[in-house]
Amino acid sequence: MNVFISKNYGDYGNYYSTNKSLTSVKQSFSWIQKMDKPSDLNCRFGFGFGKFTGKVYLDNVSIQKIIPTNTNELTETSGEMFDLFPNPTSGQLDIICKSIGSAHTTIKLYNIEGKLISVLWKNKPFVEGQTVRFNLNEAQISNGVYLINISSPEISVTRKLIINRI
């Protein structure tokens, strides 16, 4: 199986490509790819199977896009700028600021399709060491997988949040 991210125009050249051998045993794969041309917003993501004639089941395919909000590049540690606790949560969520530190921070909750569900924190200070607690039960947020986005004028970071009430 070939997994690729390529241009969606011109020579359709690959930004990233890798080949994996398929077997009859269930397998999991994970890749991280920094785009060579992050300004290219129109790319293709795909799977190639060549002349393979068997059955292939793809499940839980996800793509996470991180967009810098200014000219500073995000580093691999950008996900470490805050903690979500507990995750998965049964309804009460603490967000702990580790290094964002901004007077104008907004925290938004999106469903897995990218639809805005709630603005939890709007344009307020969120500084290193601060913990903000949210009761997602009060907001009547149902079980599922969500995305939490914390943004400030300097940076934007998105993390996965799982809500699982027993």
The full set of domains in the chain, from first to last, is: 2-48 (no CATH), 76-163 (2.60.40.3080)
Cα–Cα distance measured from residue 103 to residue 40, given in angstroms and rounded to the nearest whole number: 31
Question: What pLDDT is recorded for position 132?
Answer: 92
Instruction: Say if CB 44 and CB 7 are below 8 A apart.
Output: yes
pLDDT tens digit sequence for 2-60: 888 887 777 777 777 888 777 778 777 766 666 655 556 677 778 888 776 677 777 77
Two structure tokens written together for 45:
């993501």
Rg of the chain over Cα atoms, rounded to whole angstroms, equals 19
Question: By CB neighbour count within 10 A (0-12 exposed, 13-18 middle, 19+ buried), where does 155 fall?
Answer: buried
pLDDT tens digit sequence for 93-128: 999 888 756 778 899 999 888 889 999 999 998 888
